[in-house]
Structure 1
Amino acid sequence: MGREIILKTSQDESFNAYLAGDEAAESGVMILHEWWGVMPHNRQWADSLADIGHLALVVDLYDGRTTDDPELAAEMMRNIDQPRAERKLQAAIDYLHRPGRRIATFGCSFGGKQSMQASLLRPDKVSATLVAYCRMETDVVRLKRLSGPVLAIYAQQERNWPQKQEDFEAAMKAAGKETEAAGFDAAHGFTNPTSPRYDAEADQASWQSIVDFLQRHLRGSGNSDSSPAGDSSP
């Protein structure tokens, strides 16, 4: 189990985060929540990553606010202070960074967009990016700033798939960047165990793709079949 900590931005703004794992770990993963705010399954992701040797940090972009109401969640997402959120992202990356440690960012939906933004903000410190069923960045000039590969996880029941995958892969190719894809016959939100769209089989399979990607790009070794036991998958 991890612990709640308080971090500060460059403007001395305090924000909450959940930290799990050995602080001497050689790899770190920053996790960004969906539009609901930080939920138990986000902390569970961190615990699962800590169990396989990563230092994991869940960043709260909503200052403690959470909801299970889609309308309120949409409002919270629309009203986010993005410049302040970006200061949090940068502070969290700085917290995870140390010489020799490779860092990845990861998020689903709203969190996926923020994961990509974090990697674009600090390409000097982020080695890999993971995004799942989110709005994809297709600005080639911006994508050229990435310093590592991207794993894009797709919910193939979304109305804009496969177009979103094709557009992203074309943009990444034009930017000269590496991307990997993992697609699942599931709906948006399939990794969230509290969602009616949750798909346990797709969740487990996508989690394994995440574990393998992190193993290869943060540790530089072969595939791992370390998947969370029982209900500890995202």
Structure 2
Amino acid sequence: MGKEIELTTAQGERFQAYLTGSDESRSGILILHEWWGVKPHNRQWADQFADAGYQALVVDLYDGRVTDDAEQAALWMREIDQQATDHKLIAAIEYLARDGRKIAVYGCSFGGKQAIHASLLKPELVDATAIAYCRMETDPSKLANLQGPVLAIYAEQERNWPDKQHDFEQAMNEAGKQTESVSYDAAHGFTNPTSPRYDEAADRAAWQVVINFLQQKLAG
């Protein structure tokens, strides 16, 4: 459905992204991949968001690198140049938000961590954030900068659940910010159809929660 495009940061750095959905859409969503790099299911998510009426953009934070090897993925994640990544995130948000479009940011695992980070980079342009089974930001002084609500999706089979959920909800409460939480009896990676931990029922349920959240928060 979509097309590969090239975007340029304010610093002149070029990077790749997958764009789908109509330019006439009044709402957009930035999608951030897991530690594997951009895989087909990330583009499929974008196409599904486009079917729901959004313009969707998948940003490649790994510059074309993709792997199925967890050790390699972990290495790339640890070695990521966050400053250069921030430049990409800002450029992507600004691209989607052109013409006054309301936008949200969505990601799972590594992508979820980058999603909340992106929302904190340009809070004035991000109207909602949806994250799943990721490392959470729990500094209330940072979260206070958010200007949109956060939907947090948890995997109950993670060792640090429910403490992870409690800590994030407490931090968001201290920051005076709105968060919605939902959890599923599933493992980390349950939304990734290429993962052995994929849970189709939980994935479908979580997807509908995300769509409902976006319809509510990006309306108007």
Aligned counterparts of 1:219 and 1:34: Cα–Cα separation in 2: 28
Letter in 2 for 1:128: A
The aligned counterpart of 1:124 is 124
Per-residue deviation, 1:52 = 1.0
Identity percentage of aligned residues: 65
Unaligned runs of 5+ in 2: none
Q: What's the TM-score once normalised by structure 1's chain length?
A: 0.93
Classify the secondary structure of the residue corresponding to 1:93. Answer: helix
CA offset at residue 99 of structure 1? Answer: 3.9
Structure 2 equivalent of residue 23 of structure 1: 23
How many angstroms apart in 2 are the aligned matches of 1:87 and 1:81?
Answer: 10
- The residue matched to 1:15 in structure 2 has which SS? strand
Local SS of the residue matching 1:177? coil
Correspondence list, 1:190-209, <5 A: 190-209=190-209
Q: Residue 136 of structure 1 aligns to which amino acid in structure 2? A: M
Q: How many angstroms does 1:147 deviate by?
A: 0.2
Deviation of the 1:32 alpha carbon: 0.2
Q: Kindly state the Cα deviation for residue 182 of structure 1 after the two structures are TM-superposed.
A: 1.2
Residue 100 of structure 1: how far off its partner (Å):
3.4
Mapping for residues 206-217 of structure 1, pairs under 5 Å: 206-217=206-217
SS at match of 2:148: coil
Cα distance in 2 between the residues matched to 1:49 and 1:181: 21
Following the alignment from structure 1 to structure 2, what is the Cα–Cα distance between the partners of residues 105 and 211? Answer: 12
Q: RMSD value over aligned CA atoms?
A: 0.7
Deviation at 1:33, TM superposition (A): 0.1
Structure 1 unmatched runs, 5+: 221-234
- Deviating 4+ runs (over 6 angstroms): none
Q: Return the letter of the residue paired with 2:19.
A: L
AA partner of residue 137 (structure 1): E
- State the partner residue of 1:13: 13
TM-score, normalisation: structure 2: 0.99
User: SS at 2:98's partner residue?
Assistant: coil
1:49 corresponding residue in structure 2: 49
Counterpart CA distance in 2 for 1:145 and 1:62 is 27
Q: Give CA deviations for 1:42-62 in whole Å, capped at 9, x if unaligned.
A: 000000000011000000000
